[in-house]
C-alpha cells in the first residue's frame, strides 16, 4: 500500500488509495433550493446552491481516480416513525418535516425535495445512505458498509458545514476514521458557523480532522489508483 499526501491544514493529510472515499452530505433540494426545509427555517439558500459546481468537480475527480463516492440524504419514512417529535416540533418553521411543500412533503424519502440536486445525482452503484439524524452513522448501515470496503479515510463535502457535515465528521473521528473537510465544497447558511467549524476541527493538531481546498484534494488524488 502506497501512502500519498494531500496538502491540508493543520498539516498534510496522508492517505492510501485503497482506504479513502468521498462522502457527500445531504446535497438535497430540500436544503439548497427555495421552497424546501432550509428555506422553511428562514434561511437564504443561495449560499448553498453556489457550491454545487465545486462539489461536482470534487465528485468527478474521485470518479476519475476510481475512488469511491458515497452520498447521504437526511430524510424520514412517510409515516414519520423515524422522526422524533422533538425534531419535528422544534421551533416555528413555515413548514414542518412531513408537511406538504412546493417540492412534496418536507424531508420525506421519495419526495422530490429529498432527492439530491440533479447536478450531483449519484451514479448507479454509488452508495446512498438515507439517515434520520444529523450524523450519518446514527441508525444507518454506514459503518458496516465502510468496514466491508476497507475504507478508513473520509473526505467530506456537502451541507450544512456545522450541522450534518460536522456531526458526521465527529462520529467518524470517534470511530477511528481520518477525516478531511473540503472547505470550498461545504457551506452553511451562516458564514461565521462555517468558519468556526473549520477552525475547531483543525485546532489542537487536528482534533477532529484536516481541512483542504478542492484543488488541493484533486491534486493529491490525481492518479491515486496508478501510484
Between 145 and 193, CB nearer to ligand C5J: 193
Q: Tell me the C-alpha to C-alpha distance, in Å, between residue 177 and each of 50, 118, 171.
A: 29, 29, 9
Asked if 199 contacts 109 with a C-beta cutoff of 8 angstroms, the reply is no
Q: Is 164 a catalytic residue?
A: yes
The span of 46-54, 147-155, 157-165, 170-178 binding ligand C5J (CB under 6 A) equals 157-165
Between 89 and 227, CB nearer to ligand C5J: 89
Q: Residue 126 CB, nearest distance to ligand C5J (Å)?
A: 19
Selecting among 30, 130, 134, 164, the annotated active-site residue is: 164
Judged on CB neighbours under 10 Å (0-12, 13-18, 19+), 87 is middle
Q: Is 26 a catalytic residue?
A: yes
Q: Which residue, among 14, 41, 5, 50, has the nearest Cα to 222 in the 3D structure?
A: 5
Regarding 33 and contact with ligand C5J (CB under 6 A), the answer is: no
Binding ligand C5J (rule: CB under 6 A), the pick from 49, 69, 75, 163 is 163
Binding ligand C5J (rule: CB under 6 A), the pick from 74, 115, 130, 178 is 74
Regarding 31 and contact with ligand C5J (CB under 6 A), the answer is: yes
Q: Which residue, among 101, 106, 94, 100, has the nearest Cα to 28 in the 3D structure?
A: 106
Binding ligand C5J (rule: CB under 6 A), the pick from 26, 111, 171, 178 is 26
Asked if 70 contacts 76 with a C-beta cutoff of 8 angstroms, the reply is no
Backbone dihedral angles phi then psi of residue 119, each to the nearest 5 degrees: -65, -20
Q: Is 75 a catalytic residue?
A: no
Asked if 175 contacts 169 with a C-beta cutoff of 8 angstroms, the reply is no
Binding residues vs ligand C5J (CB under 6 A): 26, 31, 74, 159-160, 163-164
Point out the residues that are catalytic.
26, 131, 164
Amino acid at each position: 500500500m502506497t501512502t500519498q499526501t494531500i496538502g491540508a491544514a493543520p498539516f498534510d493529510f496522508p492517505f492510501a488509495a485503497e482506504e479513502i472515499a468521498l462522502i457527500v452530505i445531504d446535497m438535497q433540494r430540500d436544503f439548497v433550493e427555495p421552497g424546501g426545509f432550509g428555506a422553511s427555517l428562514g434561511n437564504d439558500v443561495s449560499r448553498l446552491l453556489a457550491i454545487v459546481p465545486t462539489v461536482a468537480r470534487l465528485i468527478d475527480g474521485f470518479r476519475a481516480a476510481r475512488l469511491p463516492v458515497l452520498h447521504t440524504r437526511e430524510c424520514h419514512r412517510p409515516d414519520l416513525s423515524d422522526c422524533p417529535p422533538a425534531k419535528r416540533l422544534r421551533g416555528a418553521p413555515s413548514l414542518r418535516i412531513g408537511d406538504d411543500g412546493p417540492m412534496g412533503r418536507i424531508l420525506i424519502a421519495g419526495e422530490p425535495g429529498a432527492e439530491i440536486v440533479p447536478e450531483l445525482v449519484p451514479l448507479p452503484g454509488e452508495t446512498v445512505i438515507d439517515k434520520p439524524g444529523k450524523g450519518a452513522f446514527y441508525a444507518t448501515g454506514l459503518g458496516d458498509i465502510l468496514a466491508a470496503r476497507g475504507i478508513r479515510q473520509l473526505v467530506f463535502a456537502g451541507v450544512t458545514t456545522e450541522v450534518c457535515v460536522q456531526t458526521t465528521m465527529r462520529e467518524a473521528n470517534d470511530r477511528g476514521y481520518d477525516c478531511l473537510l473540503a472547505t470550498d465544497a461545504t457551506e452553511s447558511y451562516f458564514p461565521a458557523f462555517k468558519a468556526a467549524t473549520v477552525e475547531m476541527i483543525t485546532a489542537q493538531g487536528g482534533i477532529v480532522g484536516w481541512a483542504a481546498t478542492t484543488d488541493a484534494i484533486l491534486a493529491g488524488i490525481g492518479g491515486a489508483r496508478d501510484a
